[in-house]
Structure 1
Amino acid sequence: MGELAAVFMRAGLEIRPLVEAILRDPSFAAAVYARPRYPVEWVTAAFAVFGIDDVVKAFELMTALGQAPFYPPNVAGWPPGNRWITPGAVVARAGLAVEAPVLEEIAGAHDPVTAVFRRASIYDPTPRTHTAATDLAFELRREPQRAAAALLALAITAPEFTLA
């Protein structure tokens, strides 16, 4: 019996100890931020960040980014790798921020950087990402709408968001 199966059995089939064992395992930490999010994953998460609820637009964007839902290139599915994060794709992704319904929320926040990170579920940004965001917010402090769009674009293109 595997180690995780033993944990599960010892816990009387309780889920919580099993999930804790998975999350505490060193192999789990090594897998975090190990690959780019596929377009389907990225679009779903980004639309939640932006407050966009448009399935047609989501499907079109996923397709434009190279992963049409339910239409893989072959029976093996979509190929893994870094092809999902080309410079052109990153620019296209960042461009979505200018029309995000949550711009007012971010622009009106007491701390727009914290608001953007919270909205994007980036709970532990790297020092580099945090510095870039705070510098950007400071630079655009007199233009809250523009700062909000720029911060959203930065968050959804940051490694903490782009990588799974």
Structure 2
Amino acid sequence: MLPSWKYRLDVVNCAGTYDDVIKHNLYVCTAKGGQYSHRRSLYFGVYRNKQVNEVAKIETVVDIESEDEYSIKWKNVNKSDEELVEIARSRRSYIDDSWYPARVFLLANLHPTNFRKTTPGGMQSSKQYFDISNLNVNDAIDLAEKLKDKSWEKY
């Protein structure tokens, strides 16, 4: 039995940062406040306009406290902390990187899908988790395929 995080899709409302997420394979939020805490997950869903348009494997989540301080929240790849922090800082430099503390999600390749929210209204919070254990996915490509044309209510 694998840990539950390996079967979790973290769907995040990226309406305001969509272009940056897609262009840089990076999601950034503040590292302060409970609404920005995230449970460890293997996959990330890019949400806007009532659907998840792309999914990716989460490589790591790094909290960058200042120019010199950081902490690795978790990592899902076999790379050194130093290498992951350098990649996070580099990718973040392409967007507004002047504020701290920042929680940086490094994403592997994004894969298109159309996992739709069919109930009225948008997301009720900034994120939502999905247990994908029943889908028996091999990787993010497989997850994207299995979520295509599915609704949040019937996946």
TM range (shorter): under 0.3
- Which structure shows the bigger proportion of residues in helix conformation? 1
Higher-strand-fraction structure: 2
Q: Which has the larger radius of gyration?
A: 1
TM-score, normalization by structure 2? 0.27
TM-score, scaled to structure 1: 0.26
